[in-house]
Amino acid sequence: MDIFLAFESISPSYMMLQPGRTKNFYSSISILLCFFLIICSIPSVSAESKVFRPDTGPIPNPLPLYFIAVHNEPFHGDPHQEQKLQAAYSVLREMVSRADEYGLSLTLMFTPQWGTMIGSDQEKLAEVRSWEKNGHEIALHHHSIYHSGWDGYTDYSPDEARIERLKHTKIPEPYLGTLDDMIAALAPLNPVLQSGCANDEQDKVTLPSSITYDTCSGFLNTGIPGERSIGQENGKGVNDFVIVGDVKGTEHKWLSHHIIGVFDQERVAEQEIERMSQDSVFGAITHSSQKQAEPTYKFFTYIHSRDPLGNRSRTLSEIMNEHILPEITLSNDVVNARYPNERVTYDDGGSGQADPMLRNELLPVGPKNRKLPDH
């Protein structure tokens, strides 16, 4: 209303003294009034409104914290094991180099065969230790007797292991020792291993007591606590909480991770991150395989575009030790039940398929009943 009061305050005598300007004056006032009304009609933008950039469109949601694990395969029982280990090491070296360029911290998960190979080569051993000093974590990767390619170590007896291996291969791999022997084989790389993926989705007997932080529980870390994870679906890489459980008298904690070493799954991983809350953690996993290198580098590039300095990057142990996520404890019956072999792997760049008829089957296992499942 102030503008109208201003109009009324104009001296009539002034207008009478300058009759030639009267028409122009009112025309100017009309234009100003229209402009004023247009400005008033524009809705105000609240602080919560989404901001748009002319060049990039909507500002993306803040990136959640994330960890990236690299599995390093054993090739146990393969007549070309040594050549394959050496080739995989070259791929791993390049992955670490790419990660360093982007400021990414990797969790490097080694099967025991890598402990032997690297431990016997002083140049490689010095290089791996330099990776650790640069912020990468040295962790465990285990292929249990249920895996398509066993690494030779188990706390089951050699006879029990052979029976189970005959369900997966015509020629069972040689038995190499217990889980303690496996940890000892990796001592040259890290004498105090505490994290890794122990392939314990199906059976917690495969989990060494020293690996208190694990990524292969077989459960989802989002949604309903205790829900089983089938392959890579249903938010495999989304961690809204840490799972806590007791195995053989030791407390263990689990997160989960999503494969990024296959192009279609890498795209899914990007989509999951875009939908995630900043308060959650995304877990990614790839393999030191030439087949998985390019999809992995595509993921690195995507992460770098969203996190140029790598400020949101963590190792698995860092995520756990920083107590970023709430913890949910599962009962012993749920954690230590024997589950069907529902794991879908991308270890060789391909995919497996779980039997849908077995997905909801539970086979309870007690400390005195360690009979292997028949399926």
Q: What is the mean pLDDT of residues 105-113?
A: 98
Least confident stretch, 15-24, 27-36, 191-200: 15-24
Phi, psi of 141 (to 5 degrees): -130, 130
Span 116-141, average pLDDT: 98
3-state secondary structure of 362: coil
Question: What pLDDT, on a 0 to 100 scale, did the predictor assign at position 346?
Answer: 52
- Rounded Cα distance between 189 and 104, Å, is 20
Geometric angle at alpha carbon 99, from 98 and 103, rounded to 5°: 125
Q: What is the mean pLDDT of residues 133-141?
A: 98
Mean pLDDT, all residues of the chain: 82
| Per-position DSSP letters for 207-271, written without gaps between them | S-TT--EES--SB-SSSSTTPBP-TTTTTTTEESSEEEEEETTEEEEE---EE-SSHHHHHHHHH
User: pLDDT exceeding 90 applies to what percent of the chain?
Assistant: 72
CA distances, 167 to each of 29, 141, 174, 337 (Å): 91, 22, 15, 20
State how far the Cα of 132 lies from the Cα of 128, in Å rounded to an integer. Answer: 7
Query: DSSP strand E in the chain: where?
Result: 52-53, 57-58, 65-72, 106-110, 137-141, 195-197, 213-214, 238-239, 242-247, 250-254, 258-259, 281-287, 313-314, 327-329
Interstrand relation of 250-254 and 313-314 (parallel, antiparallel or unpaired): unpaired
* Per-residue model confidence (pLDDT) at position 94: 98
List the Cα angle 375/207/152 in 5-degree steps. Answer: 70
For the chain, the distance separating the N- and C-terminal CA atoms, rounded to the nearest angstrom, is: 83
How much helix, strand and coil, in percent to the nearest 5, is found in the chain?
35, 15, 45
Where are the chain's structural domains? 2-42, 65-358
State the average pLDDT over residues 108-116.
98
- Percentage of residues of the chain with pLDDT beyond 70: 74
Architecture of domain 65-358: Alpha-Beta Barrel (3.20)
- Distance CA(218)–CA(208), nearest Å, equals 16
Higher pLDDT, 112 or 51: 112
pLDDT for 248 equals 94
User: Nearest 5°: phi and psi at 287?
Assistant: -130, 150
Task: Give residue 69's pLDDT.
Answer: 98
Both tokens assigned to 107:
């969790």
285-296 pLDDT tens trace: 999 999 999 999
Question: How far from chain centre, in Å, is Cα 366?
Answer: 32
Confidence of residue 27 (pLDDT cuts 50, 70, 90): low
Q: How many angstroms separate the Cα of 318 from the Cα of each of 130, 175, 195, 299, 312?
A: 18, 34, 10, 21, 11
What's the confidence (pLDDT) of residue 60? 62
pLDDT value at residue 232: 63
Mean pLDDT, range 261-269, rounded to an integer: 96
Cite the beta strand spans of 48-180 per DSSP E: 52-53, 57-58, 65-72, 106-110, 137-141
- pLDDT value for 203: 96
- Model pLDDT, residue 52: 32
Element (H, E) at 92: helix 81-102
Distance CA 333, CA 339 (A): 12
Task: For residue 157, give both structure tokens.
Answer: 């007896």
Residue 54 and residue 205: Cα distance in Å, rounded?
56
pLDDT confidence band for 368 (50 / 70 / 90): very low
pLDDT at position 375 is 28
Residue 343 pLDDT > 90: no
Q: How many CB atoms lie within 10 A of CB 348?
A: 14
More confident residue, 183 or 56: 183
Strongest mean pLDDT among 32-36, 227-231, 341-345: 227-231
Pair 251, 268: CB distance under 8 Å? no
pLDDT digits (tens, 9 = 90+) for 293-334: 999 999 999 999 999 999 999 999 999 999 999 999 999 999
Confidence of residue 235 (pLDDT cuts 50, 70, 90): confident
Q: Residue 362 above 90 pLDDT?
A: no
